[in-house]
């Protein structure tokens, strides 16, 4: 499963390169830096960071590479990521295929573990307002494993407001996850706002916890602010996230900074 998703993500990247050579359209390179820190019940909390490169071969073809390291309680893990996305269609009917793979390893204190998460998804946007998403995510982290399909819908109410709903239900392995999530994005000047949450039952590995527990009831809320820095060709986003996983409480603050390299055209 892991090799298959890696090959698919690589195929997206190679397809984008071929389209770029054929069309000679504008390209955009971005460097993304992320830092986070937070608290976790009965531990000293944790922190982490990532560095990513994102490249648009053309406006409809994207590929990215990233490296990330996380520490949470007595656990730590490091992984690399590869993703690709291709979009086709006219303005009133756009179709998107994407793939991603996250491969690495970690240590939960007494034992080392492997970290493998891969996803393949399809999206469609109609009349510029309604977007549908279908995704299957394969998770193999420590002793938890399984497939987690997802279905989602997004609606653009106007240029300033967008809402999204999604549902995930594990169909194999021992993930024991069924989650409903909602998100609202509001676009203003000079700051954009996002907030949302999730509720249901989830395995800790689905949420990015670096240790194994049986699936538990989850309540999650988050809020974020983003701002574009025009002179610096960059965007900065700050997100506060709170999770209650069966009485284990985790609060995280994440800072993302994306810098656009000079666009080619």
Q: Is 11 helix (H, G, I), strand (E, B) or coil?
A: helix
pLDDT value of position 18 = 46
Instruction: Assign 3-class secondary structure to 81-147.
Output: EEEEEEEEEECCEEEEEEEEEEEEEEECCCCEEEEEEEEEEEEEEECCCEEEEEEEEEEEECCEEEE
Mean per-residue pLDDT over the chain, rounded? 87
pLDDT category of residue 218 using cuts at 50, 70 and 90 = very high
Give me the mean pLDDT over the 28-52 stretch.
Answer: 94
| Total domain count, the chain | 1
- Is residue 4 within 8 A of residue 227, CB to CB? The reply is no
Check whether 145 has a pLDDT greater than 70.
Answer: yes
pTM of the model: 0.85
Domain at 33, CATH number: 2.40.160.40
- Which strand (E) or helix (H) includes residue 4? helix 2-23
Residue 156, in any domain of the structure = yes
Please give the DSSP secondary-structure letter assigned to residue 246.
T
Expressed as residue numbers, the domain containing 156 is 2-260
Residue-wise pLDDT for 161-173, tens only, equals 999 999 999 999 9
Residue 86, in any domain of the structure = yes
Residue indicated by tokens 């527990």: 213
Residue-wise pLDDT for 97-134, tens only, equals 999 999 999 998 778 989 999 999 999 999 889 999 99
Residue 265, in any domain of the structure = no
Residue 148, in any domain of the structure = yes
Residue-wise pLDDT for 150-159, tens only, equals 999 999 999 9
């Amino acid at each position: 499963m892991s090799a298959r998703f890696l090959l698919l993500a690589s195929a997206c990247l190679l397809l984008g390169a071929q389209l770029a050579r054929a069309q000679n359209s504008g390209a955009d390179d971005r460097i993304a830096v992320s830092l986070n820190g937070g608290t976790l019940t009965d531990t000293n909390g944790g922190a982490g960071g990532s560095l990513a490169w994102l490249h648009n071969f053309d406006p409809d073809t994207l590929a990215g590479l990233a490296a990330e390291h996380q520490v949470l309680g007595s656990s730590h893990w490091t992984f690399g990521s590869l993703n690709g996305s291709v979009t086709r269609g006219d303005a009133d009917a756009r179709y998107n295929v994407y793939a991603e793979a996250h491969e690495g390893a970690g240590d939960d204190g007494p034992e080392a573990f492997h970290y493998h998460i891969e996803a393949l998804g399809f999206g469609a946007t109609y009349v510029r307002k309604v977007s549908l998403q279908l995704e299957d995510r394969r998770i193999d982290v420590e002793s938890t494993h399984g497939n987690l399909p997802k279905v989602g819908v997004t609606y653009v109410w106007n240029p300033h407001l967008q809402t999204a709903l999604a549902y995930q239900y594990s169909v194999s392995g021992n993930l024991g996850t069924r989650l409903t999530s909602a998100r609202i994005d509001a676009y203003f000047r000079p700051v954009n706002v996002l907030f949302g949450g999730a509720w249901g039952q989830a395995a800790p590995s689905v949420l990015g916890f670096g240790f194994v527990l049986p699936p538990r009831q989850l309540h999650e809320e988050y809020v974020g602010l983003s701002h574009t820095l025009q002179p610096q060709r960059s965007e900065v986003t700050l997100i506060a996230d709170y999770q209650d996983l069966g009485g284990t409480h985790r609060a995280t603050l994440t800072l993302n900074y994306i810098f656009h390299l000079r666009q080619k055209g």
